Amino acid sequence: MSTIQSIAGELEPHPDVALVERVRGGDVSAYDTLVRKYERQIFRIAQHITQNREDAEDVMQDAFLKAYEKLEQFQGNSKFYTWLVRIAVNESLMRLRKRRTGKMVSIDEDIETDEGSVPRDLADWAPDPEQNYNQAELAEILRKTIQGLPQGFRIVFVLRDVEGLSTEETAETLGLSIPAVKSRLLRARLQLRERLSRYFHRKKGVER
Amino acid sequence: MKCKEFLALLDDLIDDSVSPETRTELQTHLGKCGHCEIIFNTTRKTIEIYRSHEIYDLPAGLRDRLHAAIMARCKKGC
């Protein structure tokens, strides 16, 4: 399967490659296209890491500006999107360090080693649990739940499951090994599942 | 297969990166173990919910501010 993908990749370059080339040639409108394509993802990632709206706005702005300025350095070995995500993750961590002066901030903090633990809450969920809440309530539940995850788990879950990076891309972006990404992803998924069970439990759901 | 072994392969099953043989073993376990069936279904649902709901909206005006900042850099030397 990877062979098929790589052959297809060689025949058909990613559409971002052409946009990046246009920007390098001086066409700033092509950069606007890239911004529109990825602004939501970059803002979300920054918000998930910094957990602060103002910081996330600054990070998004700084990340796109930095990428614009450093575009000559972009080699094209990785996708433009993953390169941009890496810049945004680094900017976000720098922003956190500024806020917590003197305190080291890394994606390794708050990691407990509870490898192999079996989930406790095993209540089944209602068939469409999100139907029991309106959009605003649901968004609040999802925000609160993911904010409670240890940072090192949260970033891996967001990059891998929400923003669609592969395990390899997530590992490269965060400077982690592939087994470390896999282990964090499993624990992130299980912890989120367990925390969401409080809201989505079959009995607690209010029928509409 | 024991629950712990199932759990170790849960992500691979969710991400569809298991061999057909392993998939069969995992599905056989799921058919017999209500505990793991709940974990599998609700974990998959967890991911789906986070993927399909925008929980942080892009602030109004942010795109315009960014555009202005890029244009300002551009005037200086692009």
Whether B38 contacts A124, CB under 8 Å? yes
Contact A39 B53 (CB under 8 A): no
Residue B68 lies in a domain: no
Chain segment B9-67, per-residue pLDDT in tens: 999 999 999 999 999 999 999 999 999 999 999 999 999 999 999 899 898 888 889 98
Distance CA A201, CA B14 (A): 21
Is residue A143 predicted with pLDDT exceeding 80? yes
Containing B7, the helix (H) or strand (E) segment is helix B3-8
Contact B62 A185 (CB under 8 A): no
d(CA B45, CA A125): 9
Sequence ranges of the domains in chain A: 2-99, 129-200
What is the full DSSP assignment across A33-81?
HHHHHHHHHHHHHHHHHH--HHHHHHHHHHHHHHHHHTGGG--SSS-HH
Tell me the chain A residues in contact with residue B73 when contact means C-beta distances shorter than 8 Å.
Answer: 65, 68-69
Nearest by CB to residue B55, choosing from A56, A125, A142, is A142
B44 touches chain A (CB under 8 A): no
- Asked, for residue B72, whether it belongs to a domain, the answer is no
| Residues of the domain holding B24 | 1-54
Residues of chain A positioned with their CB less than 8 A from the CB of B48? none
Tell me how many domains chain B contains.
1
Q: Inter-chain contact A118–B67, Cβ cutoff 8 Å? A: no
pTM for the whole structure: 0.85
A83-114 confidence digits (pLDDT tens): 999 999 999 999 988 887 655 555 555 455 45
CATH class of A2-99: mainly alpha
With contact defined as beta carbons under 8 Å apart, do A182 and A167 qualify? yes
Tell which CATH architecture fits domain A129-200. Answer: Orthogonal Bundle (1.10)
Q: Do A129 and B45 touch (CB under 8 A)?
A: yes
Q: Which of B7, B49, B71 sits opposite A130 (nearest CB)?
A: B49
